A and B are shown apart, each in its own frame.
Chain A
């Protein structure tokens, strides 16, 4: 290929993924009873684009398959075919299939042609078996004139025998006849043509490749051709069935697989509205103007009042803050991308489970950090499975409980202050407190009923291995879903709230920070250096009372605080800060919570609370245990962000505190 198309490959992948996602959404929204022609057009255009672009990159199998789908949709579009529920499922499967192929392209894996061609064959058979034409409500459109314009037809390879001229066969007459029933394109094959001196003009050395666009039935076409030619010399296939490979099929129909494939489909590039970029350019221009203004002022400075400088500095501040905000916005994408996947999941899963569910999505325009969206995929998936499998009852049970047989799940997102709230509400059976309690007791998580609050009871469902389901299904019940949800959400700096009423339904509310790049933090000072603690870990800050300080051994100390003994750590010890002595006079104690465990950190001084931008230390250095990242303070100095999780580990296993062999003790 003369042009290096590699650089456009990512664009191809992105674009196709987007088209497939849209197609999926459209397919799921199609109502069989009244098919909206706009929807079909939409699908048709999507397939058309994929057909076109895949041809550019020489992905023949995708190209051919998209072409088949296009023809199929073309029939639907022209009302010669009525779309059935089975068709939609088949189309959904096709979308998955193309997606898999594109993921393979992206990962530079070979495309599995087997599945594509298998589906392709199914569609072709459907199209050949057609037209179950439109004797439908819209009225009969079976007019022969309209048929001729249809993009459907036959691929005819016509290789006359050598002596066919002697039998009086006249190919041109045949072509003429064929062109009367449809649009015909003819290509002559001359590969059998001998050298001129060997040419016998009475013999036929040519073969023809015809494309006949018509929807006349095969019989009609055959009748015309076989009248002039023997069957052996003609091969008639419906258009776009050139690729009939042996159907090697790897059936991957479990929902699990579908979603993991979707995860793999996540792209690393990001699409940004031009509007956002324009506003960035705009604000950058303002900054430059500001800067030159400052230059001018300082150049012409003659000791007169500083008002000009102050004014410009004020402007500079406003502009740089605005710029920061806008740059952050770039990373924000609508949660729509995430939510739309679940439409499909709900559709497939409810079918498998024999339940009827209506998924209502709201607030899909809410914007979230792109990385966060990727990390939210699994938790929401688990919650959704959980709701479908355990929450929602079977239609019969629902009717008994006087609820509509079609269950409803709401997936909702909105912004609340500096947090994003994602809600999953179902109108299913609700959590059974008694069951959870008895399970918790039998699992040894809890002694006899201690009069726990609802929240405390619901917390148990997030314990690893905790499941109240009597049976284990493919979908859930193994007790490994919700603890993953809990882990992922806490890792993102978020919180989960559960509300539930027996017989009425359950609400899971995920409360997440707006972005991963900025964190609300507390600055502290230990041994003369500033460290940073994420605010979400801090439970309480108190003056260290020596009387409550208890030593177990040299490295383990407990602090008596509100009827609890909390382990206390000294950063100096964990980090081997030079010149350290355990001095607890006039110190402060920060009580922190990680994974439901408490830990106290002794600090010298409490500084301000700030929003900080997290920087990666691993770019130029190795990972430091106990350090989550670095940030830059107002004075331009780097400061370390503590990884409270790791510090808790250090506190429980002091042997983890390693002095590197290279570390010199002389300091």
Chain B
């Protein structure tokens, strides 16, 4: 089970992160690759159908219950104005739960993805700073670029994503 395996993995990676290398979780949304600092990933959970909530921005797909905690679901497709994802209804959809502390209060959000994510370890020096002044949305979210297996991965920051809903 993914849910069981990931947190354990994160625990072991956490310590090696102190050495200066950067570990991130890479996932795919509508053909684009994104990365999030592994330390901000709380867990990877099986799909929960979100409960629709009123008067919310369109990228907030609703709320789910993860063992008693109510977590909003943010769809990056809508957030980043990507063309809607074509997906096979039989493919496994999962939710990445991020958490981050702001003002000593831990907050969580969930991001739906279709593929089981991978983790990578890179050096900080491998990160290319992202400078794009035209697209405001992306400028505020993408903290850097990195190339993994000849693919560009956009590194995101959990706090930025969370500031949209809280």
Contacts and interface: CB of A to CB of B under 8 A. Distances in A.
Say whether A associates with B: yes
Interface of A: 529, 574-577, 615-617, 619-622, 624-627, 630, 632, 636-640, 658-660, 662-664, 666-667
A617 B54 contact: no
29 contacts: A529-B52, A576-B54, A616-B70, A617-B63, A619-B69, A619-B107, A620-B69, A620-B70, A621-B70, A621-B72, A622-B166, A624-B55, A624-B56, A626-B55, A627-B54, A632-B65, A632-B68, A636-B48, A637-B48, A638-B51, A638-B63, A638-B64, A640-B54, A658-B55, A663-B56, A664-B57, A664-B58, A664-B78, A667-B58
A624 B65 contact: no
Interface string B89-113: 0000000000000000001110000
A498 B54 CA distance: 40
A659 B55 CA distance: 6
A529 B51 contact: yes
Contacts of B108: 620
B72 to A, nearest CB: 4
B58 A615 contact: no
Given A615-B70, A663-B58, A636 B65 contact: yes
Interface in B5-63: 48-58, 60, 63
Given A640-B54, A658-B55, 7 more contacts: A576-B55, A616-B70, A617-B63, A624-B55, A636-B65, A663-B56, A666-B58
B53 A637 contact: no
B57 A660 contact: yes
Nearest to B62: A638
A621 B63 contact: yes
Contacts of B58: 662-664, 666-667
Nearest to B54: A575
Contacts of A666: 58
Contacts of B70: 615-617, 619-621, 630, 638
A638 B54 contact: no
A617 B54 CA distance: 13
B83 to A, nearest CB: 13
B148 interface: no
Give chain A's interface secondary structure class.
Answer: loop
A574 B54 contact: yes
Interface of B: 48-58, 60, 63-65, 68-72, 78, 107-109, 165-166
A284 B35 CA distance: 40
A587 to B, nearest CB: 19
Given A621-B63, A636-B65, A626 B54 contact: yes
Q: Which of A617, A658, A666 counts the most chain B CB atoms within 10 A?
A: A617
Contact of B63 (A577, A626, A630, A636): A630
A666 B166 CA distance: 24
B42 to A, nearest CB: 11
B55 A620 contact: no
A615 B68 contact: yes
Contacts of A632: 65, 68
A660 B55 contact: yes
Q: Which of A619, A626, A659, A663 counts the most chain B CB atoms within 10 A?
A: A619
B71 A620 contact: yes
A667 B60 CA distance: 13
The 7 closest A-B pairs by CB, nearest first: A575-B54, A664-B58, A662-B57, A638-B51, A621-B72, A638-B65, A632-B65
A624 B53 contact: yes
Contact of B53 (A636, A640, A658, A667): A640
Q: Which of B49, B50, B53, B107 counts the most chain A CB atoms within 10 A?
A: B53
Q: Which of B48, B56, B64 counts the most chain A CB atoms within 10 A?
A: B56
Contacts of B78: 664
A655 to B, nearest CB: 14
Contact of B65 (A575, A637, A658): A637
A76 B121 CA distance: 76
Nearest to B53: A624
A577 B54 contact: yes
Contacts of A624: 53-56
A137 to B, nearest CB: 62
Contacts of A577: 52, 54
A637 B69 contact: no
A151 to B, nearest CB: 47
Contact of B55 (A575, A619, A636): A575
B48 A620 contact: no
B49 A663 contact: no
A350 B70 CA distance: 50
A658 B56 CA distance: 11
A639 B48 CA distance: 13
A575 B62 CA distance: 13
A662 B55 CA distance: 10
Contact of B51 (A574, A620, A626, A639): A639
A30 B24 CA distance: 70
Contacts of A659: 55
Nearest to A613: B68
Q: Which of A529, A632, A658 counts the most chain B CB atoms within 10 A?
A: A632
Nearest to B162: A620
B45 to A, nearest CB: 12
A620 B57 contact: no
Q: Which of B57, B58, B109, B165 counts the most chain A CB atoms within 10 A?
A: B58
A640 B51 contact: yes
A58 to B, nearest CB: 28
B98 to A, nearest CB: 10
Nearest to A572: B54
A638 B63 CA distance: 7
A617 B69 CA distance: 9
A659 B56 CA distance: 9
B81 to A, nearest CB: 10
Contacts of B53: 621, 624, 627, 640
Contacts of B56: 624, 660, 663
B52 to A, nearest CB: 6
Contacts of A663: 55-58
